[in-house]
A and B are shown apart, each in its own frame.
Chain A
């Protein structure tokens, strides 16, 4: 993690704020509040789908590229998704060279684990000719600024980018033994992905005796153990991972899971609402881009 060194006094201040009877976090939020979030889809024209998410100081750009490839022999009748996270040195000089690699693999493994089940994204629909051709979705997450809670932000960004993804329609023509794939000429003849059951990651950070969602960078420095959950709109859990060098009491894990499920469901529905609204406004929408 892009660590910043905070003094013991500052850590104690944050810790005491959360420990109080009426918990108050350093920025005045409650324990279960997210920070201000801004999302915009379709920001990069060369992609099949893209989204930019800004969660307070965390800035993430996700691009999805759909390409044709051969399905893996273990799953001959479905397409693939590949996650790749790039921790740009823009975010912090520590990421220069191979510095961000560890964090990047960690984020991409958690993301791919969240999507590694048949319910979250229908990969079967990405198959064109079983055993021969399928769509491979390359989902690239670019980290532009680190302000804490990267996992949640990345997953929200991915979901938004998948919502925005348009895959060209193809038709398969059989000529003798030869299969031929024909790509539609019409740029509006596209398929979309169903993301209604895709998960969002909710990270619960244990600080002192309490847990908080959407920890800021300062709070992450005080936190000993975190629980990451991939939560779908239905409230099912698609991945669970404890992280950090502390350990957790079983009771508090169940408490955290309860909170995570509740918050994850709200997060999923409000994300979908925002995305649908954005879509409805269509061309009238004022593009913000990177000017803000």
Chain B
């Protein structure tokens, strides 16, 4: 981790007190008598709020809220490629994914850490197939994602939010990308997991514990992003992908509506 010379940093190795106090017995089971702790059904997603176009300076922007997961995204461009070494004749898309320092249980650094860099790449790979890059040769479009509050599925929410912001920016796209995520817990599948329900490798001892994130382009039925974590058998993971596709299809009308409404209110 490179040292941040521009800010006054706290001591290098501080820990949140919570990791010592958490009662492992409660945490080990994410289901209470076969039900989810927040009272949702297994395949029920949290209420979704979307608003395109809220940052006035950006070319396009969007905000997404799924209970306590809150993500904001801004899109700039097409603009000139600033760094000479990044130059290419094709249009480019760049993504910067950042957790706000206070957004997670663990305090985040100001600079991007390895996880955030990995998420940036995943986000880029989810969005790139959807954007018509040939429409802006030699130029680039920058997508900046900030997670304000993380209560699970930060990546899936960011995919949805970023594609909404790109659409709001008037960047030509083949389709909107909808993200969704599922937690696999033995035989059950929890759609749209909250932070508490999300997969952590250290808590799980068995096979068939893990999570899947997908990005789907619903109207042309193409998957642009697919990642999984944890050891899962073949049938379960296929089932999880199918469940995620269904969730995306369910969410898609909400996105359409949000975009159509944003046009209506403007005119």
Contacts and interface: CB of A to CB of B under 8 A. Distances in A.
Direct contact of A and B (CB under 8 A): yes
Interface of A: 73-75, 78, 105-106, 109, 113, 116-120, 225, 227, 232, 234-250, 253-254, 257-258, 261
Contact of B229 (A117, A225, A258): A117
Contact of A240 (B15, B129, B204, B228): B228
A236 B231 contact: yes
Interface in B200-220: 201-202, 204-207, 209-210, 212, 217
Contact of B201 (A116, A227, A257, A261): A116
Contacts of B20: 73
Given A239-B228, A257-B234, A250 B241 contact: yes
Interface of B: 15, 19-20, 114, 117-118, 121, 125, 128-130, 201-202, 204-207, 209-210, 212, 217, 221-234, 237-238, 241-242, 245
Contacts of A234: 207, 233
B15 A73 contact: yes
B231 A249 contact: no
Contact of B226 (A119, A227, A238): A227
Given A234-B233, A254-B238, 19 more contacts: A73-B20, A74-B202, A105-B117, A106-B121, A109-B114, A117-B231, A119-B206, A236-B231, A237-B232, A237-B237, A239-B227, A240-B227, A240-B228, A247-B130, A253-B226, A253-B241, A254-B241, A257-B238, A261-B234
B196 to A, nearest CB: 15
Given A73-B19, A250-B223, A253-B226, A245 B231 contact: no
Nearest to B117: A105
Nearest to B209: A117
Contact of A118 (B130, B201, B212): B201
Contacts of A113: 229
A117 B129 contact: no
A232 B210 CA distance: 15
B129 A246 contact: yes
A6 B209 CA distance: 43
Contacts of A261: 234
B114 A240 contact: no
Contacts of B125: 242-245
A232 B232 CA distance: 10
Contacts of B210: 117
Contacts of A248: 222-224, 226
Contacts of B228: 237, 239-241
A118 B237 CA distance: 18
A237 B224 CA distance: 20
A118 B129 contact: no
A117 B210 CA distance: 9
Nearest to A251: B221
B202 A237 contact: no
A253 B228 CA distance: 13
A118 B117 CA distance: 24
A113 B115 CA distance: 11
A46 to B, nearest CB: 27
* Most chain B Cβ neighbours within 10 Å, of A73, A119, A258: A119
Given A73-B19, A117-B201, A242 B227 contact: yes
A117 B226 contact: no
A232 B19 contact: no
Contacts of A232: 231
A55 to B, nearest CB: 24
A78 B205 CA distance: 12
Given A117-B201, A261-B234, A247 B121 contact: no
A119 B222 CA distance: 32
B202 A240 contact: no
Nearest to A235: B234
Given A237-B228, A240-B237, A249 B15 contact: no
B237 A257 contact: yes
A105 B122 CA distance: 13
B13 to A, nearest CB: 9
A241 to B, nearest CB: 5
Contacts of B241: 250, 253-254
